Amino acid sequence: MSTIKVNGKDQTLTSEISISELLVQNNVAQPDMVSIQVNGKFINKEAYASTIVNHGDEVDFLYFMGGGQDN
Amino acid sequence: MDFTEEQIQRYSRHILLSDVGVEGQEKISNGKVLIIGAGGLGAPIALYLAAAGVGTIGIIDGDVVDLSNLQRQVIHFTPDVDKPKVISAKEKINLINPDVKVITYQQLFTAENAFDIIKDYDFIVDGTDNFPVKFLINDACVLAKKPFSHGGILRFEGQTLTYVPGATCYRCLFHSPPPPNAVPTCSQAGVLGAIAGMLGTIQAAEVLKYLTGVGDLLTNRLLTFNAKTMDFRTIKSTPTETCPVCGNHPTVTTLVDYEQATCELKR
């Protein structure tokens, strides 16, 4: 069992999982609309399936936010 | 620059700040800032920068004021409906502070005009509502080595990042625009009006910090907040080696106008 932080909050993992699986586990419906950092480093989308999350990792889901001017 | 008695009175609350003082106010008064978008974010940004006495404020926006804008675009008033946003904004800035020189661009910010417009400014502020222009602003500023503030809002949330040459850029965090048509539009998604003020004033504060050199900018960290919980977070970041525009092997070396994508996010 390992503990990681997702968007600053603790999550306990019962098995070793990849970023792709973590997205599913966190109910992120459209991974295209999220950008991911692990320990402050950007992860390429192509590497989601092969990147394993380790105990103590800090994972951040950065969401595209486009509003501002809005007509 | 010699301030008049009236200016010393006007800017006295800045001058009283030991970190700012007369010297800092001079830097503000000599500052040239471009605001891209005179909407939800651009409105509070322009109002505070005008009040602060930023010497030259450029505003670019091709739209006219719509009734549905007034819920959050606080620089535009009811009689301004149908008026070009840049004209409406200029009128308010002049009323707040006649010291400010306002340059208006009633047009879109495009790959064609980007470099020519930003070259005259010390700092650029992104107050736009769509990803093609957000990426264009990033690329233009990175390639031209201009500092800028990224800002985005949606529903109850906001995010902002300050870029200076060498720091994490918007593309370091968000490689490329989201797929067009993947998402509904901003106007469908909605936004709590005050969120625009919360984020815009943070961006305005970053501009004033940059001009005066006071404090630590929001560089290499993305500030995000959710107004439902009022949780604020700063997510630390480092420049991405594979960043398409500022990385080791850049693929973005010229500006392009991306296909219009929308600004919403499904979760």
At A10-62, the pLDDT tens digits run 999 999 999 999 999 999 988 888 999 999 999 999 999 999 999 999 999 99
Nearby residues of A21 by Cβ (< 8 Å), 6 or more positions away? none
Q: Residue A67 and residue B191: Cβ atoms within 8 Å?
A: yes
Given a cut of 70, whether residue A69 has pLDDT beyond it is no
Q: Cβ of A46 under 8 Å from any chain B Cβ?
A: no
Distance from CA of B35 to the nearest CA of A (A): 11
ipTM here: 0.89
pLDDT at position B129 is: 85
The set of residues, in sequence order, having a beta carbon less than 8 Å from that of B149 and lying 6+ positions away, is: B123, B124, B125, B126, B160, B161, B162, B163, B203, B206, B207, B218
Amino acid occupying residue B181: N
pLDDT 10s digits, B20-55: 999 999 999 999 999 999 999 999 999 999 999 999
pTM (2 decimals)?
0.94
B187-203 in b/e form (b: 16+ CB < 10 A) is bebebbeebbbbbbebb
Does the pLDDT at position B228 exceed 80? yes
Q: What is the mean pLDDT of residues B221-232?
A: 97
Q: Do the chains contact at B237 and A35, CB–CB below 8 Å?
A: no
User: Which pLDDT value is given to residue B263?
Assistant: 44
Name chain B contacts of A71, Cβ cutoff 8 Å.
39, 63, 66, 69, 129, 187
Cross-chain CB nearest to A42 (options B38, B173, B189): B173
What is the mean pLDDT of the segment spanning B238-261? 90
Nearest to B97 by CA among B35, B29, B150: B29
CA distance A37 to chain B (A): 8
Classified as helix, coil or strand, B20 is coil
Q: Which of B154, B52, B43, B132 is nearest to B100 (CA)?
A: B52
Q: Is residue A68 over pLDDT 60? A: no
A68 touching chain B per CB within 8 A: yes
pLDDT at B80: 98
Q: Is the pLDDT of residue B79 over 50?
A: yes
How crowded is the C-beta side of B104, counted as CA atoms within 13 Å? 16
Residue scoring higher pLDDT (B259 or B229)? B229
Name the closest residue on chain A to residue B125, using Cα atoms.
A68
A40 to B236: CB separation less than 8 angstroms, yes or no: yes
User: Comparing C-alpha atoms, which of B248, B267, B252, B112 is closest to residue B176?
Assistant: B252
| Better pLDDT: B59 or B264 | B59
List A residues 10-29 in contact with B (Cβ-Cβ < 8 A): 27-29
So what's the pLDDT on residue A70? 46
Q: Is the pLDDT of residue B267 over 60?
A: no
Confidence band, pLDDT 50/70/90 cuts, at residue B186: low
What's the mean pLDDT when you consider all of chain B? 93
Contact B245, B252 (CB under 8 A): yes
pLDDT of B265 > 50? The answer is no
pLDDT digits (tens, 9 = 90+) for B127-183: 998 899 999 999 999 999 999 999 999 899 999 999 999 999 999 999 998 887 665
Residue B184 has pLDDT above 50, yes or no: no
pLDDT at A67 (0 to 100): 64
Chain B residues with CB under 8 Å of A66 CB are: 128-131, 134, 152, 154, 186, 261-264
Q: Which residues of A touch B63 (CB under 8 A)?
A: 69, 71
